[in-house]
Structure 1
Amino acid sequence: MRTHFDVFGLPRAYDVDVPALEKQYRELSLQLHPDRQAGASARERLEAAERTTALNEAFKTLKDPVRRAFYLLKLHGVDLDREDAGAQKDMPMEFLEEVMTLREALDDAMAARNVAQARGMATDVEARRRAALAEAAEALRALEGSGDGAQVRKASHALGRLRYFTRFLEQVDAFEEEVLA
């Protein structure tokens, strides 16, 4: 299976030189652009369009540290986008209880239309979101060159938390927009 890393000739690693990736993306975009195939057959033009689409998707995934982390985890067999993802089912109970407490506090702030309280919670959750990404990155780095199940689990739990925190922050933003509108 050709991965996004293969598209750019990169090793499967969390750390990516983004400026070098951007430069290579621009060069490959010029080479693969469908307009360069104007005189080619319909099949060749379609293939060029497909290669460009694959290049764009690979670039979008690899340049973003969060997308890259989820993608690397998927390459290690854990797809957190699936409803039946095992990592989502076995999140630590303490975290799930904490999620419920945070959610209830946010619901209370929203019911009281208390933007300052919601924003204060969001500040704390943003710090925890960054910490979860850092933990996932550390686990993914430790995975490079190995298939250590403990690191896969650590990364999947961290990214599960990151996903929750991201949704929480999106809800706070939507609440703020609603109140300020």
Structure 2
Amino acid sequence: MKLDDDDFALMGLPRQFALERAELDRRWRELQTQVHPDRFAAEGAAAQRLAMQWAVRVNEAYARLKTPLSRAAYLCELRGAPINAERNTAMPPAFLMQQMTWREALDDARTQAAVESLDADVTRAEAELLRQAGQCLDVDGDAEAASGHVRSLMFIARFRADVARRIDALDP
């Protein structure tokens, strides 16, 4: 294990989108047990600092891999297709139309039921985009196509935060 290993190598997992969350959690706990700074208390400040670096690195890898969206984005980057969401905003026209429809529906929603129905539609679209990103990454080997799905998923994540705020605003 090296500090500059990619997250998958660090965690001892295959470099793929489909991961067993239980296995990721198990590997994280195992690694944290090995590198926790308290284990190095008797070895002095330098050993504790190094252990702290390891603990931080393991936590960063775990955080990136446990979330499907960040895992997909990371895989795209590892495979030479970085997301570059700030500079690359290209999306399929159908998804752009879907965004507009969702925004209008959220603006028009006046009841909790209407917002929750919209949220259910968005959740279904999110699940399908995650499935497509996984297909591109694990089966097709097409990181470029996966990066497009990831950009769409990033929009959905932001939009779902707007939906949650609307739900909170409608709560009595």
TM bracket (short chain): 0.7 to 0.9
The match for 1:135 is 132
Show the 5 A alignment for 1:9-158: 9-80=12-83, 82-84=85-87, 86=88, 89-109=89-109, 113-142=110-139, 151-158=142-149
Aligned length: 169
Judged with a 3 Å threshold, the aligned counterparts in structure 2 of structure 1 residues 13 and 35 are, in CA distance, closer, same or farther, namely: same
So what's the TM-score if we normalise by structure 1?
A: 0.82
3-state secondary structure, aligned to 1:156? helix
- Stretches of 4+ moved more than 6 A in 1? none
Tell me how far 1:71 sits from its aligned partner: 1.4
| 1:101-122 Cα shifts (integer Å, max 9, x gaps) | 321221122xxx3332222111
So what's the TM-score if we normalise by structure 2?
A: 0.86
Measure, in 2, the Cα distance between the counterparts of 1:82 and 1:120.
28
Residue identity over aligned pairs, in percent, reads 33
Which ranges of structure 1 fall in alignment gaps of 5 or more residues? 145-150
Judged with a 3 Å threshold, the aligned counterparts in structure 2 of structure 1 residues 18 and 123 are, in CA distance, closer, same or farther, namely: closer
The match for 1:148 is none
The answer on 1:175 being equivalent to 2:166 is yes
Measure, in 1, the Cα distance between the counterparts of 2:37 and 2:140.
37
Judged with a 3 Å threshold, the aligned counterparts in structure 2 of structure 1 residues 161 and 3 are, in CA distance, closer, same or farther, namely: same
Query: For the Cα contact (< 8 Å) 2:17–2:137, is it kept in 1?
Result: yes
